Amino acid sequence: MQIQFAIRQLAGAAFLGALLLPSAALAQAKVEVTNAWARATAPAQKVGAVYMDVRSAGSARLIAAASPVAAKTEIHNMTMENNVMKMQPVDAISLPAGQSVKLAPGGYHVMLIDLKHELKKGDTVPVTLTVEQSDKTRQTIEVKAEVRDMTGGHMAK
């Protein structure tokens, strides 16, 4: 009797563990994007940028971005070297577990190259982000970035 009871307890614990495993994996994979915005562009301007805050529950990397409003979309970083501002593409942005990573003017951002049309205040720019988790699984996140006044920067709405 006691052996059967012990076996039932072990089986119940294994079943409960099996139920909890998928939710633990989902919690690790959860990536949240907030405050996505783009600065309006001039009519002939061929490049633009999208900014946002990205927070991942588990350790991950932002490895790619795509948008139908541009011929090419890249992840970039802007730095200052000897009082000269430099911008270059990066392979990925690390997303430490539980920390918010800010993509903002003067730092990391999503670069829109060869825009297909002007970005006007009030429009929405769709962006698809690809995030790679620490276990190498990938997920895509659909983001809608609000286009804000080009003179007001991130403070304008």
Residue with tokens 């052996």: 3
- Cβ proximity of 50 and 128 under 8 Å: no
Q: What is the mean pLDDT of each run of 10 residues along the chain (157 residues)?
A: 50 46 49 97 95 97 98 95 91 97 96 97 97 96 94 48
Task: Please report the pLDDT score of residue 81 as a whole number.
Answer: 86
Residue 37 belongs to a domain: yes
Residue 112 belongs to a domain: yes
The CATH number assigned to the domain holding 78 equals 2.60.40.1890
Rounded to two decimals, the pTM is 0.78
Residue 140 belongs to a domain: yes
Residue 36 belongs to a domain: yes
Residue 109 belongs to a domain: yes
Residue 129 belongs to a domain: yes
Token pair for 55: 């927070």
Closest CA to 142 of 130, 122, 128: 128
Task: Please report the pLDDT score of residue 24 as a whole number.
Answer: 41
Task: Please report the pLDDT score of residue 1 as a whole number.
Answer: 53
Q: Which domain holds residue 45?
A: 31-155
Residue 16 belongs to a domain: no
Task: Please report the pLDDT score of residue 136 as a whole number.
Answer: 95
Residue 8 belongs to a domain: no
SS3 38: strand
How many domains is the chain partitioned into structurally? Answer: 1
> Cα 112 to chain center, whole Å?
15
Task: Please report the pLDDT score of residue 80 as a whole number.
Answer: 87
